[in-house]
Copies of this chain bind each other. A is one copy, B any other.
Amino acid sequence: EKYRARKRLPFKLGLQIVKVVLITIQLSLFATSRLAHVSFLENTQFSLDHLFILGWDVTREVNVYPPGAGPLAVYSQQSYFETLDFAVNAYHDLDNLTVSGIGYTDDTVPPVRLCLNGYRRARVFPANLSYAFDAHVRQRCLDLRPTPVEIQKHNFSTRAFLGKHDFNVSFVALTRTTLSFALNAVRLKEMIPANEPDCYRLQAALVLENGGQDGRMLVRMNVESHLKPCNGNLETSGDGAPLKVFFTIISLLVIAVCISSFAMCMRSMYRAQLLRIETVSLLHEHFEYDLTYEEQLRFLNLWYVLIIINDGLIVFASLIHIQLDIDLIPSPIGVETWNLCAVVLGAGNLLVWVGMLRYFSFFKSYNVLILTVKSAMPSVLRFSVCATISYAGFVFCGWLVLAPYHLKFRTISKTSETLFSLMNGDDMFATFAQVWPRSSMIYWFSKLYIYVFIFFFIYVVISLMISIIMDSYETIKAFYRDGFPMSPLDE
């Protein structure tokens, strides 16, 4: 049996190796161009933040843990209006500010639009703790049009403008302020000779969030970008087309290889099924032995299933890739399309690599390891179920109690990440230390909770996990020494 398997190997193995190489090339090319594309949009976002947000700071350009500071916010009426003024003045001075190909969407500079979301009526009288409140929410908008003098002197005042237009701002009634404007961007690229410029429409909105009514208005800027058709004349020595053609050829090659790999695996699986049916009837007739469901399952080679799945994923990703490159079906392409392609291609590539392990299982000394993993899996999974149930208890409990007092327990998902990290010995002291010590009951509860969790999970659960794996390893070693147990089928 093994001999026949080995005779069939060389061609299939060769195909898989070609597949790995091709896919890794495709992946690298795609990753590089996606990184360039997404980085451009990220950096554009940062440069708009610098130009339009008053008090923006370089420390806000990195997303690190632990965070260095609280969120960007305005806390007083004066800074509220200053923030708005700053953005409006920057918008009208854009041509003198920007160091890149960003500009207005129209030659007659379109005005910035200010929208206030708020309650229809909301008055509060803190002195006697009373209010008059109509919770219906409405939106009021107004175009902000500075006078030429204000534009020239950069001293447009939103407060004065709103006063002039009888547009009063009641802060207790206000839930969100949005200052929106659009920009066009033309991006000239130098990286690869004669890459055509890209054109984008950037839809920007400076948002001041006041929904919590807690005296703190969070400030952020949303920028949405869409690729737009570009026109222009390009005088250049080379030509970008060959590159795209090269990309597309690689993708087509990958598709071809994957389809043939897919076909071969299907054929093998089909044959295995035929063999199964034959065996079943043979055993039934001659030995009166009916194969159990589990024994029949052994005819299904999971490696082939794995290869079929990864072939499917990669063909799908390659098709998206081709669409991204040569835009076959005209459609607006956003960042999400790139992300989808990346996720599918990444998952496919991961499975291709894992599938390579199959060819190691033909060597005895490598096989022992794969067999160990395979034999340990059921115990590990069963154990994981038990562990997960206690884990879930800790997650819910931690989230409920610590969410308002601890950064790392703010959401269920974060709580789970925190506990998972603790369980693997990470960031333990910081987790202890980052409780706001506002309530001593919570403070001491958090200590106890973390100690118990760590003690139980590191010393008991993980040790048991190691025991299980070791036990399987011993078993497999013993099988090698003493022979594998045989099912009736093998006999």
Q: Which residues of B contact A467 (CB under 8 A)?
A: 372, 469-470, 473-474
Complex: chain B residue closest to A36, CB-CB: B212
Complex: chain B residue closest to A66, CB-CB: B64
Interchain nearest-CB distance for A482 vs B (Å): 15
Looking at the complex, which of A2-10, A160-168, A294-302, A421-429 is the stretch in contact with chain B?
A: A421-429
Looking at the complex, which of A253-261, A268-276, A280-288, A392-400 is the stretch in contact with chain B?
A: A392-400
Interchain nearest-CB distance for A118 vs B (Å): 9
Looking at the complex, which of A75-83, A145-153, A322-330 is the stretch in contact with chain B?
A: A75-83
Most buried by B among A75, A76, A215, A405: A215
Complex: chain B residue closest to A32, CB-CB: B403
> Digit string of A162-182 for contact with B (CB within 8 Å is 1, else 0)?
000000000111110000000
Across the interface, A353 reaches (CB within 8 A) one of B96, B98, B392, namely B392
Across the interface, A396 reaches (CB within 8 A) one of B97, B190, B353, B356, namely B353
A434 at the interface (CB under 8 A from B): yes
Q: How far is the CA of A63 from the CA of B35 in the complex (A)?
A: 24
Q: Which residues of B contact A439 (CB under 8 A)?
A: 335-336, 339
Q: How far is the CA of A30 from the CA of B400 in the complex (A)?
A: 8
Contact A420 B132 (CB under 8 A): no
A390 at the interface (CB under 8 A from B): yes
Q: How far is the CA of A335 from the CA of B436 in the complex (A)?
A: 14
Q: Give how many A residues have a beta carbon under 8 Å from the other chain's beta carbons.
A: 196
Q: Which residues of B contact A189 (CB under 8 A)?
A: 213
Interchain nearest-CB distance for A344 vs B (Å): 10
Across the interface, A346 reaches (CB within 8 A) one of B216, B382, B396, namely B396
Looking at the complex, which of A122-130, A243-251, A483-491 is the stretch in contact with chain B?
A: A122-130
Given contacts A136-B237, A373-B464, A393-B354, are A445 and B96 in contact (CB under 8 A)?
no
Contact B131 A424 (CB under 8 A): no
Interchain nearest-CB distance for A136 vs B (Å): 6
A31 at the interface (CB under 8 A from B): yes
Complex: chain B residue closest to A187, CB-CB: B213
Contact A77 B98 (CB under 8 A): yes
Contact B386 A214 (CB under 8 A): no
Contact B61 A75 (CB under 8 A): no
Across the interface, A464 reaches (CB within 8 A) one of B38, B369, B407, namely B369
Complex: chain B residue closest to A47, CB-CB: B215
Given contacts A70-B62, A215-B100, are A428 and B426 in contact (CB under 8 A)?
yes
A343 at the interface (CB under 8 A from B): yes
Across the interface, A213 reaches (CB within 8 A) one of B70, B188, B230, B434, namely B188
Across the interface, A129 reaches (CB within 8 A) one of B229, B357, B438, B441, namely B229
Q: How far is the CA of A131 from the CA of B199 in the complex (A)?
A: 10
Q: How far is the CA of A418 from the CA of B173 in the complex (A)?
A: 47
> Digit string of A74-114 for contact with B (CB within 8 Å is 1, else 0)?
11111010000000000000001111111111110000000
A43 at the interface (CB under 8 A from B): yes
Interchain nearest-CB distance for A473 vs B (Å): 4
Chain A residues 23 to 61 lying within 8 A of chain B, measured CB to CB, are: 24, 27, 30-31, 34-35, 38-40, 42-44, 46-48, 50-51, 57-61
Across the interface, A370 reaches (CB within 8 A) one of B59, B65, B174, B386, namely B386
Q: Which residues of B contact A473 (CB under 8 A)?
A: 464, 467-468, 471
Interchain nearest-CB distance for A180 vs B (Å): 17
Q: How far is the CA of A107 from the CA of B125 in the complex (A)?
A: 9
Add 15 more A-B contacts to A35-B410, A42-B404, A339-B442 (CB < 8 A).
A58-B71, A63-B434, A75-B97, A100-B172, A100-B213, A100-B215, A105-B126, A134-B236, A135-B190, A351-B393, A360-B386, A365-B379, A369-B382, A372-B464, A380-B459
Q: List 21 A-B contacts (CB under 8 A).
A: A38-B405, A39-B214, A50-B76, A64-B67, A77-B98, A100-B213, A121-B235, A128-B231, A129-B230, A133-B235, A135-B235, A136-B236, A173-B188, A175-B190, A191-B211, A335-B439, A346-B400, A365-B378, A421-B428, A460-B469, A463-B465
